[in-house]
Amino acid sequence: MAYWLMKSEPEAYSFEQLKKDRRTHWDGVRNYQARNLIRDEIKKGDLVFFYHSNCDEPGIVGVMKVVREAYPDNIEFGPNGKRYKTNADPDNPTWFMVDVQYQRKLKRVITLKELKEHPELDGFALVRKGNRLSVMPVSEPHWEYILNLE
């Protein structure tokens, strides 16, 4: 099993919405490095931190589990979707998504500001300046450390 962090803006898709839905597909990733992680690395059973970004208090809000491995992102092939790709080829998709399932809400939001204050998290991609990836790996020691901050 591996550990991950996935970002979503609360206005686009919130953790509370995932709690209601119980399961969803994680679509709309349009960064090649993040796409490669989804397509090649993320496996069924992996655990994922749900991170709220671009909001008043960015931070880790909950945990979800990967319940379906990578498959073509249907937004790429939608008829008039916001991210519709006019030359999309269903036999050679560019973008991929995974399905995730709600596991639990954290006891409190662990903010980006707080995460940056812990030298034990040096090397964690989220706290690196300029990191913009919406999907990133989390080492097991960092995963455990973050959960202990709860």
* Cβ contact 29:134 at 8 Å: yes
19-78 confidence digits (pLDDT tens): 999 999 999 898 999 999 999 999 999 999 999 999 999 999 999 999 999 999 887 776
64-97 confidence digits (pLDDT tens): 999 999 999 887 776 655 555 666 777 888 999 9
CATH of the structural domain 3-149, one choice from 3.90.1300.10, 3.40.50.20, 3.10.590.10, 3.30.200.20? 3.10.590.10
Chain centre to alpha carbon of residue 65? 11
pTM score, whole prediction: 0.93
CA geometry: angle at 101 spanning 88 and 62, to 5°? 110
Domain ranges of the chain: 3-149
86-143 confidence digits (pLDDT tens): 667 778 889 999 999 999 999 999 999 999 999 999 999 999 887 778 999 999 999 9
- Band of residue 146 on the pLDDT scale cut at 50, 70, 90: very high
